[in-house]
Chain A
Amino acid sequence: MILTPSLFQVSLAFFFLIVTLLILRMRKINREKELIVASLRMTLQLILTGYVLIYLFENPHPLLSLAVIFLMTVFAIRNIYARVQLPLSRSLKRIIAFSMASGSIFTVFFFILLVLGVKPWFDPQYLIPIGGMLIGNAMTGISLGVTRLSAGMEDNRHIIETALMLGATPRAATKEIVDHAFDSAILPTINSMVGMGIVFLPGMMTGQILSGISPITAIEYQLIIMLGILGSVSITTILFVELGYKTFFNKDQQLIFSPTD
């Protein structure tokens, strides 16, 4: 039997929001406004997405599906720019956009066309949720990679210059920093793979089980989507770090002091 919560039941879930607000008020933690805004945004965004998805599912069209994937990628790229708290050069921003777009779109289509074999390929029921998950996780991965790479270049400026003076190429001089940035970007994915199924049941799987799908099917989906996320994070991040470190050097292989161009 599948339970469909009524509007009243959904509103009961807002009880948890009130509890959190009360805790914040009692402890005088200045976070109430943010929480209210976040809850409102979440509710409105989800309702809106629901209607958009209903429209898309009823009117499947390749251009519409592609437009959604395109918009997701653009929002993800903008989100990375906003989330990274470090100054980003224009060339680094271009590299972020390029790796995010090419890496995640490659993974999404590999997944849709080969792993799932969705027919027609633009079926919004598959393309949109899977695109969202793969693009969203790639976004988190690249954000981490950007932060680690930029901070690593800044903190190790002296040691990079020493290596350059000893005849190292920019690639050799920054190898450890680039590797560390990649490693930090994929570590959260690896950690969540370790805890998966035991420490927590991931949202997608929980959602499928609640809506009446057999746990076996839900697990199959979860397994392949996790591998897809791993691929999407590692492909976008390796593209980013491999191209990104070069933006810290000029054409004479000198380390640039302030990354502004």
Chain B
Amino acid sequence: MLSQEPGVFPGNIRENLLMGLRFSEKPLATEPELEKILQLVQLKMTLDNPTANLSLGERQRVALGRVLLMNPQVLLLDEPSSALDETTEHLMIKSLVDFTRKGGKTLVMVTHSKKVIENFQMRVIQLKKNQTLSDKEVPR
């Protein structure tokens, strides 16, 4: 589960990525695994980079990487790319969708981006207040 406002712990990117594994008492990831996650979330930084001076978009990606590293079966993401530019957003959501498809995982994502919906939709539920406006499956 990932909230819209990314919570990032003091320290560097490596410590933040490992935080979820530590909390859930899972075996820690190796350096190559951590590097792979950085690529997956389109973050071009070193693992030693301190989190204090990251931008909102960078923090969002660190938080997403931290969740992906835990290898969950179901991902609930609240606007994970809201602070990203269009190109980075596209690249990140693409690798995220590939990651979930390959792993046979479920991805539930809230977004306001029409581009993301057009490019990656599978089943789109439009909500307004407490009502469902539409619910359609898109065959691929």
- Tell me the smallest distance from the CB of A171 to a CB of chain B, in Å: 11
Q: Whose C-beta in chain A lies nearest to the C-beta of B66?
A: A166
Q: Count chain A residues whose beta carbon lies closer than 8 angstroms to a beta carbon of B.
A: 12
* Cβ–Cβ < 8 Å partners of B5 in chain A: 158
Tell me whether chain A's interface is mostly helix, strand or loop, or mixed. helix
A163 interface residue, CB < 8 Å from B?
yes
Binding-face segment, B17-25, B37-45, B84-92, B118-126: B17-25
* Cβ–Cβ < 8 Å partners of B24 in chain A: 166-168
Among B7, B66, B67, the residue within 8 A (CB) of A159 is B7
* Cβ–Cβ < 8 Å partners of A86 in chain B: none
Bits for B53-96, please: 1 = Cβ < 8 Å to A, else 0.
00000000001001100100000000000000000000000000
Q: Is the CB of B19 within 8 A of A165?
A: no
Specify which of A162, A167, A169 lies most central, judged by the most chain B CB atoms within 10 Å of its CB.
Answer: A162
With A159-B9, A172-B23 as contacts: A166 and B3 at CB distance below 8 Å:
no
Q: Count chain B residues whose beta carbon lies closer than 8 angstroms to a beta carbon of A.
A: 16
B2 interface residue, CB < 8 Å from A?
yes
Q: Is the CB of A158 within 8 A of B20?
A: no
A161 interface residue, CB < 8 Å from B?
yes
Q: Is the CB of B2 within 8 A of A165?
A: yes
* Cβ–Cβ < 8 Å partners of A165 in chain B: 1-3, 7
* Cβ–Cβ < 8 Å partners of B9 in chain A: 159, 162-163
- Tell me the smallest distance from the CB of B73 to a CB of chain A, in Å: 13
Bits for B2-15, please: 1 = Cβ < 8 Å to A, else 0.
11011111000000
* Cβ–Cβ < 8 Å partners of B70 in chain A: 166-167
A186 to B66, CA, bound (A): 36
* Cβ–Cβ < 8 Å partners of A173 in chain B: 23
A159 to B5, CA, bound (A): 10
Bits for A148-187, please: 1 = Cβ < 8 Å to B, else 0.
0000000000110111011111001100000000000000
* Cβ–Cβ < 8 Å partners of A169 in chain B: 23
What 4 pairs across the A-B complex have the smallest Cβ distances? A162-B7, A167-B24, A168-B23, A166-B20
Residues of A within 8 A of B (CB): 158-159, 161-163, 165-169, 172-173
Residue pairs across A and B with Cβ atoms less than 8 A apart, 9 shown, are A158-B5, A158-B7, A161-B7, A162-B7, A162-B63, A163-B7, A166-B20, A166-B23, A166-B66
Q: A159-B7, A159-B9, A162-B7 are in contact. List 17 more A-B contacts (CB 8 A).
A: A158-B7, A161-B3, A162-B3, A162-B6, A162-B8, A162-B63, A163-B7, A163-B19, A165-B2, A165-B3, A166-B20, A166-B24, A166-B70, A167-B23, A167-B70, A168-B23, A169-B23
Residues of B within 8 A of A (CB): 1-3, 5-9, 19-20, 23-24, 63, 66-67, 70
